[in-house]
A and B are shown apart, each in its own frame.
Chain A
Amino acid sequence: MPPVTPGSESSAALIAAIAAGDRDAFSRFYDLTAPMAFGLIRRVLRDPEAAADVLQEVFWQVWQDASRYDPTRGSPEAWLVTRAKTRAIDRLRSMRRRDRTFAAPVDESVAPRREEPAQNPAVVAEDKSLVQTALAQLPEAQRRVIELAFFEGLTQSEIATRLGEPLGTVKTRARLGLDRLRGVLGGERLSAT
Chain B
Amino acid sequence: MNRDEIGELAAAYALGGLEGEDLARFEALLEAGDQDAVRALRECGDTLVGLAAAAPEPPPPGVKAALMERIAAAPAARPSAPSEAVRPLPRRRPRALWPVVLSGAMAAGLAAVVVGWSVSSTYEKRLDALARDAEQLRAELRGQQAVIAILRDPATQVVALAGLPPAPAARARMMWHAKAGGVFVATGLPAPPEGKAYQLWAIAGGNAPVSAGVFTVDASGTGSLAVRPLPGVSTVNAFAVTLEPAGGLAAPSGDMYLLGRS
Contact = CB atoms under 8 A, between A and B. Distances in A.
Contact of A38 (B8, B59, B127): B59
A137 interface: no
B221 to A, nearest CB: 41
A188 B12 CA distance: 24
B60 A52 contact: yes
A89 B15 CA distance: 12
**Do most interface residues of chain B lie in helix, strand or loop, or is the interface mixed?**
helix
Interface stretch (B61-69, B210-218, B225-233, B245-253): B61-69
Interface string A160-180: 000000000001101101110
Interface in B40-84: 41-60, 62-64, 66-68, 70-72, 75, 78-79, 81, 83
A14 interface: no
B50 A182 contact: yes
A182 B43 contact: yes
A82 to B, nearest CB: 7
Contact of B17 (A39, A53, A156, A188): A156
B71 A26 contact: yes
Interface residues of B, number: 57
A79 B46 CA distance: 10
Interface string A9-36: 0000000000101010011001100111
Contact of B83 (A68, A86, A185): A68
Interface of A: 1, 3-4, 6-7, 19, 21, 23, 26-27, 30-31, 34-40, 42-43, 48, 52-53, 55-57, 59-61, 63-68, 72-75, 77-79, 81-82, 84-86, 89, 101-102, 105-106, 125, 128, 130-131, 134-135, 146, 149-150, 153-159, 171-172, 174-175, 177-179, 181-182, 185-186, 188-189
